[in-house]
Structures are given as C-alpha cells and as structure tokens.
Chains A and B, each alone.
Chain A
C-alpha cells in the first residue's frame, strides 16, 4: 500500500516536473540574473526608458520642436523663476527640455537597436566564416579586423561620417562598422572552441554538410557570449552616436537627439546649467543601466562564471 501511494506521489511529482521543465530553463536564468542586484535595477531602468520612448507622443507635455518665444531659457521648476509649464525648463529657443528628452529616448533606443543589429549580424556572419575556414581566408579576415580595431573607434567613425556625409543614418552605419570587429572576434573564438567538441564531430560522422554544420550545429552554441556583447555594444552605440551628434556629425538640429542637444547647448553652459546637464544625465543613466544589465546577462548566460 505504502509503495503504491509513494509511486503515485512520485509520478505526480514527475508530471509536475515535466511541466516545469520548459520554465525551468527560464527560472534558472532568472535565478542567476537576479543574484546580481545591479542587473535587476538596470533592467527596471531600461524597461522604464522603453516605456517612455513608446508613450512619448501622449505623455510629453509639449511637442519636441515647439518653440515658446516668450519662455527662453526658463529654469527647472524647483528653481527660482521656474514654472510648472516647463518642468525641466526650456532651452535657448524656448523648447521644453522634458519633452525633448522623452522624444530623445526614442532616437537613442532606435540608434542602439539598429546599430547592434547591423554590427551583430555582420559580425556573426564574418566570424563564423573566419572561425570555420581557419586557413588563408580566416587569416585575411582577422587581419582586416585587427586593422579596424587598431584605430581609435570614434576617430574611425568620424572619418567614415566625413566620407559618407553627416546625418543620423550615416552615423549609425559608421558606428556599426566600428563595433562589428568585436563581434567577429568573439564569434570566431567560440566557433573554434565549439569545432573541437565531440558533438560537432558526431554531426560530421552523421554526414552533415558544411552549411548545415555552421548554421544548425555550431551557430546556436556560440550565441550566448554574443548576446552579452550585444547589450554592451548597445550602450557604446548610444554613447558614440551622442558623441557624433555633439560634434555636429550625427543627427542634425532640430532633431531631439541627446548628443545633438548637448552640442546646441554648450554655449549656455555657464548661464543655464540645465540645458547641458539634463541630456548628459539622460545619456549617463541609460548607458549605466544597459551596462549593469549586460553584466547580469553575462553572469546568467556564461556557465564559466557561474559560481556553483
């Protein structure tokens, strides 16, 4: 009798386990991710930014390019002469800074997304080829990547933009090209690592073609470090785009891009601190949040760093 009930309990437990198996991968991921407090905070801040970017047209008190000629350089609400109409004040031509920052989040996230997508796709493709064909082809690819990496990244982006002409799209392409070698190196390293594993040999014995081997067998196993690199590149992309914007080579005024806002405001740095500080703070918070999140992702995805 006791055995029976025990077996029943056991099989019930097994069913429950089966249901949990799918979510258990996620649960394990969350366990390791949430262990890192900073990463969780970063995640929340990032989600908040995404939300703001989405609801900007409804939530922003003013249009991003609406100029209030009677309210130039109004300070934030908590300062003397501040008004509730412009919570974070206005800039030199009377545009509401809060609204511009909210719209700016859209640009920054868009830049991050596009740049990382271009850089990662190109980088992974080239990395797979360089890793799989380690002979002459691989060596040539890696030397080219080394050359790109040898330039200071912002300088190279500047040169590219100078060739392509200023503008947000061109700046994004330039940044993507600069970031892409990191993906190539990372992918190549993990491809070489995976190639020596037995399951790859096993697929070969089963008769897998080169294309099958690269795309179906090796690629999925190389992705976790690339995902981590992608989050970290996200913040670099935003930062570089802001820098190009600041230099006047990225988004052109009156686009409410944070870097461009900084550039427009630099002559008022002594008279009106808020015009300069607030976009800078927005960049800082975004980049910090994404970096923290990336650290957590690495902890959760990279089994080598797992503590138990």
Chain B
C-alpha cells in the first residue's frame, strides 16, 4: 500500500559564504494517515528544513534533490509551482514555533481565518463567518464570536497557537506538520495544545508530523520516532522501543543525558559539539563524539536493518549490551 507521504533520499544544500553547506543528508521520511511521526534532533539537525523543502518554502540559495518525494500519490518533484501551491494549501497544513509572529498583526483573527476559508472553500460571507466560529470552537477558544474581532496582540501565545491550528484545519488537511508547536509556550499551555493536536488528529484521521527537540513531548505524543543528527537520519523506531532500547549510540547518549534518567548528581553528557560546515567527519558524523567508534567509523558507515531501528551505525547498540551496561552501573 502506498503511504500518504513518502520521501526517499532527500538532500538539501545551502549556498553560503563559505561554500556549499549540506543541511539535510539523504534522509527518508514516510508518514501515513492516522499516524503521529515525531522527528527529533538538536538545532542544525535539519529537521525543519526537510519539511520546508516539502512545502517549497526554502530560500533562494537552497538546492533540493531527492529520489522520490511523493504526497498522496502525486510526485511533488515534477509538478509545477502553481499545482504545488494548490496541494500545499489544501492538503498539507503547517504550524510554527512562534504563534505570535505567524499571524499578521495588522488584521483581526476573524479576518485571517475568513481569508483562508475564502481561498479554500469559497462559501458566501455568512457561511464563512459561521464556519470560522465553528473552527474556533473546535480548537477550544471560549467565546469565539467576540474573539473573531480580536487582533493577535490581544491574545496570549497559547490562544494564538489555537488560532493557527484553526486556520490550518480550515481546509481539512490530510497532513499536519507541527514545527516545535509548543516550544514557546508554558508547560500548562503546552499540555493543552498537545492534547488538542492529538484529539484533532484522531478525530480527522490526519497524519501528524511533530518536529521537536523535547524528548518528553515525543514520549507523550508520538507513535513512531525518527532521530536526526547533523542532517542525517540516524535511527527510526516505534516510540516504546526507542525509549527502551535505542540502537544508535547518539540516541542512547541523548536519552541518558536527560536529568530524569540520571542516577547521580553528575549527568552523563556527550562530549564535543555537533559538527559544523568545516569540520564534517568523513564517514559517520557522530564518530568523534561516540564512545563505540573505531577506525572503521571514519571510513564507512553502514545502515542497519529494520530490526535494529535502521540505525546508521557500524556498531549498533543491542538490548543485551544495554543490560550489561546497566548491570555494571
């Protein structure tokens, strides 16, 4: 069966003052209806860039190449810009980290929702207004009639994010991409927004791609997780097994550096920095920081089978190894 979203071998390069910079390096992304995929990674891991490429929102100096980029059985690489805009607006929705700056400060919330409705559904005036109120109710905004006349600066961050979600839902998208949707919000509001996103996703059987750096958010929401490091996908697993038995050393190190998992006062940390444009290792990008690395890791790197989470690693961590390590500690 065909997946709703199927991206294979996607690479993105940026032209910068210091030459070409590879932001995304041969990654695959698949996501199906009714599924929540989380893409985790630190800043610079290319997690947002890949999605922006799908939406065609990259700046002029980016070069995108992919073996396959298919959405809803349409080849997104071959179609014209106009067609792509049509698909994106109608079937793919995206919400961003800064809800305050994603809304236009010059217009009322109601006007902005109605504009989207006009574009996608083409109802008449009264119907559009009614639908806008319905949408605001759907995302849990109290007193939607009066909120329609509010300007974005009169609403809090959480409310603005709800409005963004309402706007995106206006066209009933098949895929919703949420790029760090709760990073700028407080924990109590974060819980509200995550609950809202998940319930809407179930209700409408949408595919949801959640881009985040917060392991807690991943654990609470995702079905499947893909971990990215320096532009590469290093591991992909179901959420339960990822947190139980991470196979890539990076995932393992990342999880054990979380304060929740630490035993002593000292946190096990990953030494060094994410490689930049000029100090990119020759083969495995994590090798200089990896405790399992050998000389082989600077020559080549192997992608493991599905059984080992497709880990991009010559020496994937197995369950027994972790148990042993646990016993030693």
| Chain A residues proximal to chain B, CB less than 8 Å | 1-3, 6, 10, 13-14, 17, 24, 27-28, 31-32, 307-308
Contact = CB atoms under 8 A, between A and B. Distances in A.
Contacts of B299: 2
B295 A308 contact: no
A138 B270 CA distance: 51
Nearest to B62: A308
A2 B61 CA distance: 35
A260 to B, nearest CB: 45
B297 to A, nearest CB: 9
Given A2-B298, A3-B295, A13 B59 contact: no
Interface string B54-80: 000001110000000000000000000
Contacts of A13: 278-279
Q: Closest 10 A-B residue pairs measured CB to CB?
A: A2-B295, A31-B17, A6-B298, A28-B17, A2-B298, A3-B295, A308-B61, A308-B59, A1-B295, A17-B278
Nearest to B278: A17
Nearest to A28: B17
A308 B60 CA distance: 9
B105 interface: no
A17 B275 CA distance: 14
Contacts of A14: 279
30 contacts: A1-B295, A2-B295, A2-B296, A2-B298, A2-B299, A3-B293, A3-B294, A3-B295, A3-B298, A6-B281, A6-B282, A6-B298, A10-B279, A10-B288, A13-B278, A13-B279, A14-B279, A17-B278, A24-B18, A27-B17, A28-B17, A31-B17, A32-B17, A307-B59, A307-B60, A307-B61, A308-B14, A308-B16, A308-B59, A308-B61
Given A6-B298, A308-B59, 11 more contacts: A1-B295, A2-B298, A2-B299, A3-B293, A10-B279, A13-B279, A17-B278, A24-B18, A27-B17, A307-B60, A308-B16
Interface string B289-303: 000011110110000
Q: Which residue among A31, A307, A308 has the maximum number of chain B CB atoms within 10 Å of its CB?
A: A308
Contacts of B61: 307-308
A308 B281 CA distance: 25
A27 B16 CA distance: 12
Contacts of A27: 17
A24 B14 CA distance: 18
Contacts of B296: 2
Contacts of B59: 307-308
Contacts of A32: 17
Nearest to B61: A308
Contacts of B278: 13, 17
Contacts of B293: 3
A212 to B, nearest CB: 34
Contacts of B279: 10, 13-14
Nearest to A29: B17
Nearest to A5: B298
Contacts of A307: 59-61
A301 B294 CA distance: 45
Contacts of B281: 6
Nearest to A31: B17
A79 B219 CA distance: 85
Nearest to B299: A2
A304 to B, nearest CB: 14
A28 B59 CA distance: 19
A281 B113 CA distance: 55
A308 B16 CA distance: 8
Nearest to B295: A2
A6 B278 CA distance: 14
B142 to A, nearest CB: 34
B186 to A, nearest CB: 21
A32 B16 CA distance: 10
B288 to A, nearest CB: 8
A157 B220 CA distance: 70
A148 to B, nearest CB: 33
A6 B17 CA distance: 26
A32 to B, nearest CB: 7
